[in-house]
Structure 1
């Protein structure tokens, strides 16, 4: 939260007041951090795309794989993740829950913002020395192909934490009042002292103390708007420091482990790809084709909205990118036909929930990375659950429009349909290229993302010719920011899951969940309810990173297919993510459409109710998720 300085703070006779000097120092620090991090992160996105495309070209075309290519990509990837996290911190784009603090009066909200910044500084401060110790420990380890110390890679974590610390200091200098800062420091110091004094009683509680650290503590921080990655990380650090003698450098090591998987490099590449298809005009071409087919029927553009989300979700992998690509293309025409803007947002929001399983969803990639489930199988299994959700939504649209006036849209002629199809063919081919390459094993999810970016650039520049090159740099920076926000959550959640495992909680959870009534079906229903709740507060990726390694082995032991369980979990988390009043996806849809959430909230429930029915069908009929998987 930035506060502009009043002009009275600066006196020509007396020079700068202390408040003005502090503000200017903070602004100068913030500006320096922006130029240092945004340009570097944008450059790393470009380098990763080029490097991976060269890897694919050398392997499949020249038949001469670049032996050091993956190792260099992995090294640069961690730097991209951490610099992206810094950019997200500076731009206020880390994933966090704002539903509660948004209702506070301005003065109280300013205090909560300051408290949140102090909490972030506390977390980074506790890990600052362990992070550099981890770099020192990794100095003696040499990489296999490049033959350089691994410290060059892991130093990204220490540097990233240092830059995030500077970012938080700059924010406090520019916006925090001294009284708010003092009270926040006193509150955290008191809480730390209380934990130190209560160490003995907490130890006597056994694993019930996990409720204090990982339920009460995490939820309290999330409610006041602390970034989710900090809520996870600080709860983990507090637990390990109070209850165990574990060196905190192990927390840094677990964060590194969580972000080190090269498959996660698909996340920034697909985010970049999602932004490109909108900027290149490919999304509009696909939407125009769908409009020519069914735009004239009663409620036709509503069906187009569902179809467009389905198609574009197969390319971008990012729900925010999907909605941002579709809303500007469809909403103006839908409003001309008399559609209520609140109804439009309700449909857009529910469509985002419906399409969570469509490959190459970032949640699918993450779930494969943390649980070991085949990403190819997840991509194959993700189509039909979304079809069931789309049918359920279409039924609601039909019911709402069955007695309405006929559409005012003009029926397209055969020539117009053919013309729009020919224009859309290059764009429509991209989802099939991506899915076929991954499912058939031609390329990994990471490699196919680089192929998709190259394809989009070539087709967009040659066929659609509407790309404004001035948009490229902001797209690259936004890609780095969103990717960093996602990846550092994965790192923090990995450390938290490790701490829970070390406590014995995972074994206790397995025992409890294996005794639920109803056997496998009961376990699926309870899991669905749990993931809806988790999705409301944590979003899909942090929830699956935290609980996937704990619950998937239990599901497998109960005879539930990995892919079936993954689809139930992802669909349920999508419902939570887009369900008001807590789901942040709902507010993202309202922000994209520029609509007041209070009006849209009343209209969204029939669509979400239909998706709950679809989830029940998905639970009861495993074939929907696994029917198209190759038989072993």
Structure 2
């Protein structure tokens, strides 16, 4: 049955069938043709896969991200970042990277980060004589950090699939996200210095103070989310609701950039995005249940235990598999399928569950801009108007520096876990 399931799944994916259809159709076909399982059980699994408390955070974080974009929070974040680092060598590119890290900490959505930051910063990068390929690679890779920096939708999915604390995953994501971002910042500095690219005039204390004042309410959001979770005021799921309400209050009352019409359109867009993510999660949960029922995770665990004794080699294997998979599959789908297969074996080998989650998400973040199907590539193309061949040199360079960051995250666990241990 599993052979038929994987063949059908692969054929459907290669035929560009929507992923949720490919997952669901291959699962139902395999069960109907090769087992005596009542198909109603699969329907129950579809709904059961969504009946998880952690998943309640998804629609609220998605709504919060969309409100922030429409309500002017992203623009103020960007101006603050430019006042902070714009005068440094590579300052305009660093502004793009830092703004993406900050907006990722507000939204948790990679494509939303690329659009929100890219539509403002790409014209600025080209005006400052940055190569279009470099600029496109920067936008695509910088946006991917939203998968790592909390509140990350993908971290929530990992927590819901494996039972690992979402709060601990969020805290670990801070350290991992900083390493990921710093790897790009280092490359940006040397690239700009080598090419003698112009930089902004240093912002005066008055200008920086004004930018900080304007962005103050937006910068408070990650403080509220993470501070509230670890002070025990609310759970990660409740934090999602708080962030959405807070973003709406700031957009409507303080910044006054969101009308009732734009709020209505934002609600509709958030509902569509939520539906797309959750139907994918439900379909993947059905596939995961079939694989578990057929004993595939146990077979993989037995094979690895018999053939791979080194944790270092096991982690390297995970990275290779996830980097390849990330070229073809979106992060949420990859996590819902692979996490249950890898989790038990990894824990049995002494790998911290939170560390495993961060490693998987860091891999899939790189996959967001890896050809041929990295979604950030296509989102960036709507801004830069470059084709994939033109973008490839820039994508390759950022891929290389981010893989270095991935190896640090993988083989130095404290790089992401130190904050978790500090707050225990």
Determine if the TM-score, normalized by the shorter chain, exceeds 0.5.
Answer: yes
Matches within 5 A, 1:451-490: 451-490=242-281
Give secondary structure in 2 for the equivalent of 1:628. Answer: helix
Residue 331 of structure 1 and its aligned partner are, at CA, apart by 2.1
Residue 404 of structure 1 and its aligned partner are, at CA, apart by 2.7
Distance 1:608 1:574 in 2: 10
Work out whether 1:211 is the aligned partner of 2:3: yes
Residue 402 of structure 1 and its aligned partner are, at CA, apart by 1.4
Residue 259 of structure 1 and its aligned partner are, at CA, apart by 1.0
Q: Who is 2:333 aligned against?
A: 542
TM-score, normalised to structure 1, is 0.65
Residue 264 of structure 1 and its aligned partner are, at CA, apart by 0.9
Residue 439 of structure 1 and its aligned partner are, at CA, apart by 2.9
TM-score, normalised to structure 2, is 0.95
Q: In the superposition, relative to structure 1, how do residues 570 and 516 fare at CA in structure 2: closer, same or farther (>3 Å)?
A: farther
- Which of the residues 212, 225, 231 maps onto 1:440? 231
RMSD: 1.6
Q: Who is 2:142 aligned against?
A: 351
8 Å Cα contact 1:353-1:571 kept in structure 2: no
Give secondary structure in 1 for the equivalent of 2:156. Answer: helix
Give secondary structure in 2 for the equivalent of 1:475. Answer: helix
Q: Who is 1:619 aligned against?
A: 410
Work out whether 1:366 is the aligned partner of 2:172: no
Residue 244 of structure 1 and its aligned partner are, at CA, apart by 0.7
Distance 2:409 2:309 in 1: 17
Q: Who is 1:580 aligned against?
A: 371
Residue 492 of structure 1 and its aligned partner are, at CA, apart by 0.8
Q: In the superposition, relative to structure 1, how do residues 534 and 431 fare at CA in structure 2: closer, same or farther (>3 Å)?
A: same
Q: Who is 1:525 aligned against?
A: 316
- Which of the residues 387, 393, 396 maps onto 1:596? 387
Q: In the superposition, relative to structure 1, how do residues 528 and 516 fare at CA in structure 2: closer, same or farther (>3 Å)?
A: farther
Distance 1:263 1:428 in 2: 25
Q: Who is 2:16 aligned against?
A: 225
User: Deviations along 1:231-272, whole A, 9 cap, x unmatched?
Assistant: 111111111112111011111111111111132121111111
8 Å Cα contact 1:532-1:577 kept in structure 2: no
8 Å Cα contact 1:323-1:592 kept in structure 2: no
Distance 2:199 2:187 in 1: 20
Q: Tell me the number of residue pairs that the alignment of Structure 1 and Structure 2 aligns.
A: 423
User: Deviations along 1:541-583, whole A, 9 cap, x unmatched?
Assistant: 1111112122111111110000111111111112123201232
Matches within 5 A, 1:46-57: none
Residue 212 of structure 1 and its aligned partner are, at CA, apart by 3.1
Work out whether 1:270 is the aligned partner of 2:70: no
8 Å Cα contact 2:122-2:383 kept in structure 1: no
Give secondary structure in 2 for the equivalent of 1:269. Answer: helix
User: Deviations along 1:382-417, whole A, 9 cap, x unmatched?
Assistant: 011111111211121122111333525232211111
Distance 2:199 2:417 in 1: 41
Distance 1:620 1:630 in 2: 17
Distance 2:405 2:3 in 1: 33
8 Å Cα contact 2:147-2:361 kept in structure 1: yes
Of structures 1 and 2, the larger Rg is shown by 1
Distance 1:263 1:593 in 2: 36
Q: Who is 1:247 aligned against?
A: 38
8 Å Cα contact 1:264-1:366 kept in structure 2: yes
Residue 592 of structure 1 and its aligned partner are, at CA, apart by 4.4
Work out whether 1:297 is the aligned partner of 2:117: no
Residue 341 of structure 1 and its aligned partner are, at CA, apart by 2.9
Q: In the superposition, relative to structure 1, how do residues 473 and 461 fare at CA in structure 2: closer, same or farther (>3 Å)?
A: closer
8 Å Cα contact 2:329-2:373 kept in structure 1: no
Residue 593 of structure 1 and its aligned partner are, at CA, apart by 4.2
Residue 533 of structure 1 and its aligned partner are, at CA, apart by 2.0
Give secondary structure in 2 for the equivalent of 1:410. Answer: coil
8 Å Cα contact 1:376-1:441 kept in structure 2: no
Matches within 5 A, 1:494-573: 494-573=285-364
Q: In the superposition, relative to structure 1, how do residues 389 and 591 fare at CA in structure 2: closer, same or farther (>3 Å)?
A: same
Residue 514 of structure 1 and its aligned partner are, at CA, apart by 2.1
Distance 2:230 2:387 in 1: 41
Q: Who is 1:316 aligned against?
A: 107
Distance 1:383 1:516 in 2: 34
8 Å Cα contact 1:296-1:410 kept in structure 2: yes
- Which of the residues 176, 190, 195 maps onto 1:385? 176
